[in-house]
């Protein structure tokens, strides 16, 4: 009788443990299905919407991936672009503009961004311009202009070797006055990193490998992006 009771007890314990064991197994996350992109045109098999899932970022990527040149640009200034009062109601992404600025620095574009389908063979050229040479070391005064992968070839740049292309452009324009033509763009991804929109307590990036995110490395989320033409000019 004791043997039968022990067997029944073991079976009961086993039945209780089985559901718990299954509960511990992680449920497989369903794959997110990305809707087809019906806007813009693809570039090297990367659609204009990029690889973003959220609609707001898909729409932003379409603006970044414009193919049309700015054929009738109107003048804006670096000071106007970075003015906090102009963050709303002054610019809009349909504006074609040209701006002359002093090129403070030139950096690699973001690595594997959704606008470029998170691919390492598609990368922007990121250019920081300021209103005067005296501001060249002040990140809070930087206005960003970007040359996208689909415009690099159109601007006679050898986009097959990114680092060499970056070095060539850097030697041509850093420390010089350059006129850029292109489209206005509000890059909402950088609101917390822009001086005019970040919290007042957000520190300026030191780029020493110890920066806590977010930190400020630009003046405003407004950019000229994409740049569709540029040329070195005389100082104003």
- Looking at per-residue confidence, does 33 or 192 come out higher? 192
Q: Rounded distance, CA 98 to CA 182, Å? A: 6
pLDDT in tens, 191-231: 999 999 999 999 999 999 999 999 999 999 999 999 999 99
Residue 23 lies in a domain: no
Contact 152, 159 (CB under 8 A): yes
Q: Rounded distance, CA 159 to CA 194, Å? A: 29
Domain extent for 197:
55-232
Does the pLDDT at position 72 exceed 80? yes
**Which backbone phi and psi does 146 adopt, to 5 degrees?**
-130, 135
Q: Rounded distance, CA 130 to CA 175, Å? A: 10
Domain total for the chain? 1
Residue 120 lies in a domain: yes
Rounded to an integer, the average pLDDT of 23-32 is 56
Nearest to 218 by CA among 84, 76, 74, 91: 84
Does the pLDDT at position 35 exceed 90? no
The owner of tokens 């957000």 is 202
Least confident of 18-32, 52-66, 114-128, 151-165: 18-32
* CATH code of the domain containing 148: 2.40.50.140
For residue 116, the model assigns a pLDDT of: 97
Q: 159 CB contacts (<8 Å, ≥6 apart)? A: 149, 152, 153, 165
Six-digit token string for 138 = 């002040």
Does the pLDDT at position 97 exceed 90? yes
- Looking at per-residue confidence, does 21 or 38 come out higher? 38
User: What separation in angstroms does the CA of 19 have from each of 28, 29, 83, 233?
Assistant: 17, 20, 61, 73
Residue 24 lies in a domain: no
Least confident of 30-39, 43-52, 156-165, 210-219: 30-39
Nearest to 186 by CA among 19, 7, 64: 64
Contact 226, 183 (CB under 8 A): yes
User: Confidence band (pLDDT; 50, 70, 90) for 105?
Assistant: very high
Rounded to an integer, the average pLDDT of 102-127 is 94
Residue 83 lies in a domain: yes
pLDDT in tens, 130-183: 999 999 999 999 999 999 999 999 999 999 999 999 999 999 999 999 999 999
The mean pLDDT of the chain is 90
For residue 30, the model assigns a pLDDT of: 59
Residue 49 lies in a domain: no
For residue 4, the model assigns a pLDDT of: 46
Residue 29 lies in a domain: no
Contact 185, 93 (CB under 8 A): yes
What is the residue-wise DSSP string for 192-220? GGBTTTS-TTPPBP--SS-PPSS-B-BS-
């Amino acid at each position: 009788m004791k043997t039968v009771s022990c067997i029944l007890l073991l079976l009961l314990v086993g039945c209780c443990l089985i559901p718990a064991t299954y509960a511990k197994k992680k449920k497989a996350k369903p794959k997110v299905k990305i809707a087809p992109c019906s806007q813009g045109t693809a570039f090297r098999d990367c659609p204009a919407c990029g690889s973003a899932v959220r609609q707001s970022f898909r729409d932003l990527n379409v603006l970044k991936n414009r193919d049309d040149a700015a054929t009738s640009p109107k003048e804006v200034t670096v000071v106007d672009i970075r003015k906090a009062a102009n963050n709303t109601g002054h610019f809009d992404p349909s504006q074609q503009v040209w701006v002359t600025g002093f090129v403070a620095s030139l950096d690699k574009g973001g690595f594997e961004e959704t606008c470029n389908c998170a691919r390492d063979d598609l990368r922007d050229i990121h250019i920081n311009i300021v209103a005067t040479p005296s501001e060249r070391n002040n990140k809070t005064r930087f206005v960003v202009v970007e040359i996208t992968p689909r415009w690099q070839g159109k601007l006679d740049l050898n986009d097959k070797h990114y680092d060499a292309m970056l070095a060539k452009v850097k030697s041509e324009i850093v420390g010089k006055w350059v006129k850029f033509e292109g489209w206005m763009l509000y890059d909402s991804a950088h609101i917390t990193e822009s001086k005019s929109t970040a919290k007042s307590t957000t520190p300026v990036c030191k780029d020493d490998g110890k920066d806590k995110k977010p930190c400020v490395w630009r003046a405003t989320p407004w950019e000229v992006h994409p740049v569709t033409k540029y040329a070195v000019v005389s100082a104003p």
